[in-house]
Amino acid sequence: MNSFKLNKKSDKQIENPRNSQSGIAMVMVMIMISLLVVAGITMNRRSGIKSSGSPNHLKKHEATCIAEAGVQHTIYELMIDPLKRGSIFTGEQFSSGSYSTEALQPDGILGDIIITSTGEIRKDDGTIIARKTIQMRMTPIGNILAFRAVADTYLDRANHSLNYGGETTLFIGKDQSNNYYRGLLRFDLSEILPGSIDTLGVYAAYIELYMDSYTGIGMPSIDIHRVTRSWAEGPGGNMRPAGATWETYDGDREWNTHGGDYDTRVESFSTIQEVSKIWYRWSLPDISLIRGWVDDPSSNFGIIMKDSTEDKWVVADAVKFKAITMPPVSTDERIVDNSDPGFSITEGTWRMSTGYPDYYGSSFRYNEPGTGPGTVTWEADLILGAGSYEVFVWYPISTGFAARVPFTVYYSGSSKTVLVDQSKNGGQWVSIGTYAFSDDGTENVTMNVSELYGQFLSSESADINLWPKLVILTR
């Protein structure tokens, strides 16, 4: 949560507590106080209790209380979404009137936020009885610095000569024809002085994108990499553009490698699902990327986002169900190999192979890029019936296998998905957790290959509050 110093135009100062729970509590208390003031005024009028001041004066005071409630509600909204600007509430009903508010930050991302709130009381025919507008200045005093993307586009392998810099959405992922879409984004951090990361107390950051819709099936892991050269956003369009394409970084000169030049190190990853109209977050607990951009702005070429399994094999070999007994007994386990009756291919093409060392049994199966989505299932084989079992997976050795493969365990009416790095720890049993199985005949382990791409809103979209954003956390 943000911490703010609040200054009304009368120079009255209110300070939010630094911890988030206290901050929210203060907001709710302030709203309740405003509500009680308005209710008290209304009760006085309706009950005939004598009160000082003319009816017009009381209405103006009531409108002021409504406006102040609008300020507090806007503060709460900005705590939830620190990048929200412009109109926040319009005609929000409160007591006998309504308020409309806006939040502006005229001096830039590190400047004060000015909240303007207008409280109104109207007759049934819409005639305004009383109106009061107040302003509150919020000075950030720690915790969050937020930035919107200043440039973004996506690269399309199938339409390799097209630029999409003017599009309102970013396609990221891969489709069922094995076409790849990669997102390019850049954030301007020039308002943070070089060398000030430690002074500000920066300790973590995250990037968020709003997925408006999706196409395909699965749960792909989307990786973030640091881009290693400059690129042009471009205007989009079907003519040869002055912007990045799959082949070029500016519409003319080619990337060293088609699809973008980037550091192979994965800065962050996040699993997206078949759920849209929500924010997805990529955490950056290692601030070296942010520090590099701040200390050397000329190195800030932004990030590229891509499906982690674009060009990787996904392997299906064996699964072990080991009963949890005291003391442990080595025979209290069952193994389902890819050639056993308990294994089934429910979707896609899974070829058989012995081409990599240390597979389990006589072979393993794999889904390779270009063969479409795929799903395989190992039926739970529970030697002791219902109870707790540790589940293991086995796959052969190769650093070229996919890094984040989703295994989903279905147990006792629930499910849990675990990402397994098949490029490491091959040729041995790898635990994916312990589960309480009910042995009802429906329990299994499923592994799938995703063919899904998200349509994330870009900085060209109409709603500025849904643009891609980078949030930096400070102490």
Q: Pseudo-torsion of CA 190, 195, 200, 202, nearest 10°? A: 90
Interatomic CA distance for residues 114 and 133, integer angstroms: 13
What is the CATH architecture assignment of 314-449? Sandwich (2.60)
Output the pLDDT for position 248.
Answer: 96
Query: What pLDDT score was predicted for residue 328?
Result: 65
**Kind of pairing between the strands at 430-437 and 387-394:** antiparallel
What is the C-alpha separation between 338 and 145, in angstroms, rounded? 50
Secondary structure of residue 382 in the 3-state scheme: coil
Q: Which two tokens stand for residue 86?
A: 């412009």
Rounded Cα distance, 362 and 398, in Å: 17
What's the rounded Cα separation, in Å, for the pair 4 and 27?
12
Alpha carbon distance 185, 233 (integer Å): 9
Name the one residue in this structure whose structure tokens are 């675990």: 418
Strands (E), 36-123: 86-94, 97-104, 113-122
| Predicted local confidence at residue 329, as pLDDT | 65
- Please report, in angstroms and rounded to a whole number, the separation of the first and last CA atoms in the chain: 11
What pLDDT is stored for residue 240 in this prediction? 60
CB atoms closer than 10 angstroms to residue 473: 18
User: Average model confidence (pLDDT) for the chain?
Assistant: 84
H-helix or E-strand spanning residue 204: strand 202-217
Q: Is 317 helix (H, G, I), strand (E, B) or coil?
A: coil
Question: Which of these, 383, 425, 431, lies nearest to 407 by C-alpha position?
Answer: 431
Q: How many Å apart are CA 375 and CA 349, to the nearest integer?
A: 9
Listed in sequence order, the DSSP H helices in 81-102 are none
Question: Which residues, including other chains, have CB under 8 Å from residue 11's CB and lie 6 or more apart?
Answer: none
3-class state of residue 22 by DSSP: helix
Taking CA atoms, 139 is separated from 2, 11, 242, in Å, by 10, 13, 40
- Low-confidence residues of the chain: pLDDT under 50: 1-53, 141
- Tell me the sheet residues that pair with 156: 181
d(CA 288, CA 266) in angstroms, rounded, equals: 13
Residue 60, helix vs strand vs coil = helix
Model pLDDT for residues 119-139, shown as the tens digit of each residue: 999 998 889 999 999 998 876
CA distance 70 to 132: 11
Residue 283 token pair:
């955490």
Q: Summarize pLDDT for 387-444 with one digit per residue, the tens.
A: 999 999 999 999 999 988 999 999 999 999 999 999 999 999 999 999 999 988 889 9
Domain boundaries, the chain: 4-140, 144-309+453-474, 314-449
* 3-class SS letters over 145-197: EEEEEEEEEEEECCCCCCECCCCCEEEEEECCCCCEEEEEEEECCCCCCCCCH
Q: SS3 of 29, please?
A: helix
Measure the CA–CA gap between 124 and 349, rounded to whole angstroms.
67
Would you say 322 and 283 are in contact if contact means Cβ atoms under 8 Å apart? no
List, as one string, the DSSP characters of 397-452.
--TTB-S-EEEEEEETTEEEEEEE-TTSS-SS-EEEEEEEE---S--EEEEEE-EE
